[in-house]
Amino acid sequence: MQVLSRKSLPLGGFAGLTEHRLVTDRRVFGARKAPNTFDGIGNFVYLADAQFNPRGETHMHPHKELDVISIMMSGRVSHEGSLEHGQSLSAGEVQVQRAGGEGFSHNEKNPDNTKNRMLQLWVLPEVAGQPAGYKHYTLPETGVTRIYGSKEHRGKNGEGKEQSQKQTFASKTTIDVVRLASGESITFDEEILAYVSKGTAEFSDENNSFNAEDGDLIRSFKTDIVATSEVEIVVVSQI
Supply the DSSP string of 140-176, one letter for each residue: -SSEEEEEESS-----TTS------TTTS---SEEEE
- pLDDT value of residue 154: 45
- pLDDT value of residue 162: 52
Count of positions (residues) in the chain: 239
Q: Are 65 and 100 in contact (CB under 8 A)?
A: yes
Show the DSSP H helices in 92-132 as ranges: none
From the list 107, 108, 49, 53, the residue with the least C-alpha distance to 77 is 108
Question: For 2-238, which CATH superfamily applies?
Answer: Jelly Rolls (2.60.120.10)
- pLDDT value of residue 15: 85
- pLDDT value of residue 161: 53
- pLDDT value of residue 239: 87
Reading the chain (239 residues) residue by residue, the pLDDT tens digits are 999 999 999 999 888 899 999 999 999 999 999 999 999 999 999 999 999 999 998 888 888 999 999 999 999 999 888 887 778 899 999 999 999 898 988 899 999 999 999 999 999 999 999 999 999 999 999 999 999 998 544 444 445 555 445 689 989 999 999 999 999 999 999 999 999 999 999 999 999 999 999 999 999 999 999 999 999 999 999 98
From the list 164, 131, 136, the residue with the least C-alpha distance to 150 is 164
Between the CA of residue 92 and those of 16, 76, 119, 130, 156, what are the distances in Å? 22, 10, 11, 28, 23
- pLDDT value of residue 156: 46
32/29 Cα distance (integer angstroms): 5
Q: What is the value of pTM for the model shown?
A: 0.91
Sign of the C-alpha dihedral, residues 138, 144, 148, 151? Answer: negative
Domain assignments of the chain as residue spans, ordered by start: 2-238
- pLDDT value of residue 151: 54
Q: Are 126 and 143 in contact (CB under 8 A)?
A: no
214/152 Cα distance (integer angstroms): 26
- pLDDT value of residue 63: 87
57/37 Cα distance (integer angstroms): 25
